[in-house]
Amino acid sequence: MTSAFRASRRTKELLRREIPGTAAVLADPHDFAAMRRYRTFPFHDHTHYLRHLEEHLRIRTAQGMRTSLALFDPTAYAAYCEELGIAPDSVDSRARYTADLARNGATLPYAGEPLAQLLPLLVEETGRQAVWDSAATRLAEAGTCRKCGEDLSQSAFALATQALKELLDGLGDGTHHLVCSIPAGAPPLLAALRVTSEEGRHTLSESQSLIFCTVLAAGIAHRTPGGIVSRSTRPEPSSEEATTTAHDTARGWALRDGWPEPLTAAQVFTAYCTDITTGDPIPPEHRVDHTAGFPLTRPPQSHDC
């Protein structure tokens, strides 16, 4: 038995101990390096770790064993261990953390895909879950109206749902990408939603729309600043070509007094053509029209009691 074979078998045995039905993956090399400070963490090379993890996952799948993937966050893990008073340098503690991730965190089912293909999706899903958790917490903090006792979180969510419906109806047919941002801490709450609309029917992800409305509702409930931008693509027949060409329209709304109010075309242009990091102007994109947002009807219940 060669040393390479023994090392490979040893790695598989270690992975079996580390995966209690859900694999909490160290997708980032920096996160992997952070875990190496623990004596009981048995891996030394990130590429080697991912390669053997993928092999192990495929074996489990071939044997009919279902496995979910979650992201292992060393910082969150250390805080988790401190909160529960358990030792972080322990296989059992890592297994306990992973089990809690399976119950409460973002996960994706593994079905034999290459990890290189699945991990970016897992990172994206984990980010969405984090935004939803923060937005839901922020929304719940709104409490009740001191004048009438109304649950402000429920009424704000109803307003956000109404605003999204009006937005989608007003944008019309096409493919729309909407982003809602609320500066409620660092980082700010940010939710994206992709919608395809045709003849009044809207096709969209329920989870994305839930997060979008929760973020918007958090801004409405606390009457904080914020904004919504949309970018719509409608195929238009070209007179010179047999194919179609895409023509995009950008619009925007600012959250004022708990309701999205339309931006002017100049304000939309400024929003899209300014570097958000440096504040420097950037060239406008080709074939993108910067158009004023359209008014959204403010429901009566959005007024103060």
Per residue in 56-102, pLDDT tens?
A: 999 888 887 888 999 999 999 999 999 999 999 999 999 999 999 88
pLDDT above 60: residue 238 = no
pTM for the whole structure: 0.74
Across 227-231, average pLDDT:
93
pLDDT tens by residue, 62-72 = 887 888 999 99
**pLDDT for 60:** 86
**pLDDT for 246:** 55
pLDDT above 90: residue 214 = yes
Across 118-128, average pLDDT:
90
Across 214-230, average pLDDT:
93
pLDDT above 50: residue 291 = yes
3-state secondary structure the chain: CCHHHHHHHHHHHHHHHHCCCEEEECCCHHHHHHHCCCCCCCCCCHHHHHHHHHHHHHHHHHCCCCEEEEECCHHHHHHHHHHHCCCCCCHHHHHHHHHHHHHHCCCEEECCCCHHHHHHHHHHHHHHHHHHHHHHHHHHCCCECCCCCCEHHHHHHHHHHHHHHHHHHHHCCEEEEEEEEECCCCCCEEEEEEEEEECCEEEECHHHHHHHHHHHHHHHHHCCCCEEEEEEEEEEECCCCCCEEEEEEEEEEEEECCEEEECCHHHHHHHHCECCCCCCECCCCCCEEECCCCCCCCCHHHCCC
**pLDDT for 299:** 78
Domain ranges of the chain: 3-113, 152-302
pLDDT above 60: residue 44 = yes
**pLDDT for 86:** 96
**pLDDT for 284:** 76
